[in-house]
């Protein structure tokens, strides 16, 4: 392939952004200038969602108004609940999320209005409703009744409540909330760039987020957190981990949860999420997965010098919380709706149709032969 082609846009800067800064050289990530790890320490996901969408952290009054708007929009239409009930039980929850957001677009009264104000309101409605749609499917496919959202719970608590009928202890909620903060935004990753590309033709936010969900589903991107858990369950015990990983590397297999296009000496989010994975394991007295985690991490580093990415600690953490594996990437969606929405609004504010070039390497020009001559 000729040198002027950068497959996968490797290393290509295509636009500017104010939403987040990924700094591999110092292993750091900031959302609107605030370090992600500090936001995990001092804020709840709702404060970070407000920050990413509104460019600064909220004060008490702003947060109360934002939370009220989000809570008031959590419930779904009767039609959407009934459509979710009709979805095939074997559907992947990522396809449920993609379809639900698409239907939210059909129902939304401001679908044709792509002004910043309307997009902000639509972003909050999508942020509010997506957990409800996912939790409804979580219950329905197990033959259980839907549990409607509660307004006196925050986003993390309410998701557990709608899925399981109760809110777990606060340390579990905190670890889940931290994962939502860490998943919220990460500059021009493939699903965010998908959202920006769709927006660049001036299409609507529901369509852009529907496309972004489809992109995030892939195992090279968000789908990796589910694949990490499938891998760990195949390994079964920490005693098998060394043999398993070396066998995979010998077969040149891609080990899910490791590597990153931008971070080459470690994903800045991993130390924080790994800390909370260990906290959850200690609390629930489940040390199998953290032990397996360490063995796999050390072997990938020593053999390939490849570091884990944020999906690696998230998988086992959600598993220890008792969440179904195929809901891990949908949880990523619940959070990344904030980042996608901020980028969609940023693209609108300074748009240029995204349309790269390609280098033709097919047949040269040739004459068409009539059918009876071919």
Residues that bind ligand SDX (CB under 6 A): 8, 186, 189, 220-222, 224, 254-262, 304, 306, 309, 311
- Rounded least distance, CB 112 to ligand SDX, Å: 29
- Rounded least distance, CB 264 to ligand SDX, Å: 8
- Rounded least distance, CB 88 to ligand SDX, Å: 27
- Identity of the residue, 136 or 344, whose beta carbon is nearer to ligand SDX in the bound complex: 344
Residues in Cβ contact with 239 at an 8 Å cutoff, skipping those fewer than 6 apart: none
- Beta-bridged to residue 23, according to DSSP, are 28
Residues in Cβ contact with 364 at an 8 Å cutoff, skipping those fewer than 6 apart: none
**In this structure, how many other beta carbons lie within 10 angstroms of the beta carbon of residue 268?**
23
- Identity of the residue, 258 or 318, whose beta carbon is nearer to ligand SDX in the bound complex: 258
Q: Which residue is nearest to ligand SDX (CB)?
A: 259
Distance of alpha carbon 157 from alpha carbon 168, whole angstroms = 8
- Beta-bridged to residue 258, according to DSSP, are 308
- CA-based angle 62:202:73, to the nearest 5? 35
- Identity of the residue, 189 or 210, whose beta carbon is nearer to ligand SDX in the bound complex: 189
What is the token pair recorded at 57? 């952290």
- Rounded least distance, CB 126 to ligand SDX, Å: 18
- Identity of the residue, 16 or 363, whose beta carbon is nearer to ligand SDX in the bound complex: 16
Q: Strand order of the sheet with strand 34-35?
A: 20-23, 28-31, 34-35
Question: Per-residue b/e over 166-192, b at no fewer than 16 CB within 10 Å?
Answer: ebbeeebbbbbbbbbbbbbbbebbbbb
- Rounded least distance, CB 224 to ligand SDX, Å: 3
Question: Please, is 2 exposed, middle or buried when counting C-beta atoms within 10 Å of its C-beta (0-12, 13-18, 19+)?
Answer: exposed
- Rounded least distance, CB 278 to ligand SDX, Å: 20
DSSP 54-120: HSS---HHHHHHHHHHHHHT-S--HHHHHHHHHS-TTS-HHHHHHHHHHHHHHH-TTTT--SHHHHH
Residue with tokens 């496309």: 211
- CA-based angle 26:44:171, to the nearest 5? 95
Catalytic residues: 221, 260, 311
- Identity of the residue, 126 or 314, whose beta carbon is nearer to ligand SDX in the bound complex: 314
CA dihedral of residues 354, 360, 363, 368 (deg, nearest 10)? 40
- Cβ contact 309:225 at 8 Å: no
- Rounded least distance, CB 116 to ligand SDX, Å: 24
E strand or H helix at 241: helix 238-250
């Amino acid at each position: 392939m000729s040198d002027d082609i950068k497959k996968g846009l490797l290393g290509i800067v295509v636009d500017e952004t104010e939403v987040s800064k990924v700094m591999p050289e110092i292993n750091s990530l900031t959302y609107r200038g605030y370090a992600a790890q500090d936001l995990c320490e001092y804020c709840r996901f709702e404060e970070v969602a407000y920050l990413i969408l509104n460019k600064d952290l909220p004060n008490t009054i702003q947060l109360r108004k934002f939370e009220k708007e989000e809570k008031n929009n959590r419930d779904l239409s009767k039609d959407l609940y009934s459509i979710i009930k009709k979805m095939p039980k074997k559907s992947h929850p990522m396809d449920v999320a993609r379809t639900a957001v698409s239907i939210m677009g059909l129902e939304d009264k401001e679908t044709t209005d792509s002004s910043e104000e309307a997009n902000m309101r639509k972003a909050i409605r999508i942020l509010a409703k997506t957990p409800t749609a996912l939790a409804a499917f979580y219950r329905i496919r197990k033959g259980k009744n839907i549990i409607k959202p509660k307004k006196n719970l925050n986003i993390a608590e309410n998701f557990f409540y709608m899925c399981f009928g109760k809110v777990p202890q606060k340390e579990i909620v905190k670890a889940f909330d931290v994962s939502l903060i860490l998943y919220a935004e990460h500059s021009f990753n493939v699903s965010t760039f998908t959202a920006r590309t769709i927006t660049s033709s001036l299409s609507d936010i529901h369509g852009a987020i529907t496309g972004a969900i489809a992109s995030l589903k892939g195992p090279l991107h968000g789908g990796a957190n589910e694949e990490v858990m499938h891998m760990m369950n195949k390994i079964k015990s920490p005693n098998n981990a060394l043999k398993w990983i070396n066998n995979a590397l010998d077969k040149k297999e891609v080990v899910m949860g490791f590597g990153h296009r931008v971070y080459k000496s470690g994903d800045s989010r991993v130390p924080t999420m790994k800390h909370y994975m260990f906290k959850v394991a200690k609390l629930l007295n489940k040390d199998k997965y953290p032990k397996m985690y360490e063995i796999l991490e050390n072997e990938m580093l020593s053999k390939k010098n490849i570091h884990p990415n944020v999906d690696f600690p998230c998988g086992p953490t959600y598993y220890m919380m008792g969440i179904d594996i195929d809901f891990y990437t949908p949880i990523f969606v619940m959070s990344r709706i904030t980042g996608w929405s901020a980028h969609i609004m940023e693209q609108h504010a300074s748009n240029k149709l995204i349309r790269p070039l390609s280098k033709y390497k097919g047949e040269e020009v040739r004459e068409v032969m009539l059918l009876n001559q071919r």
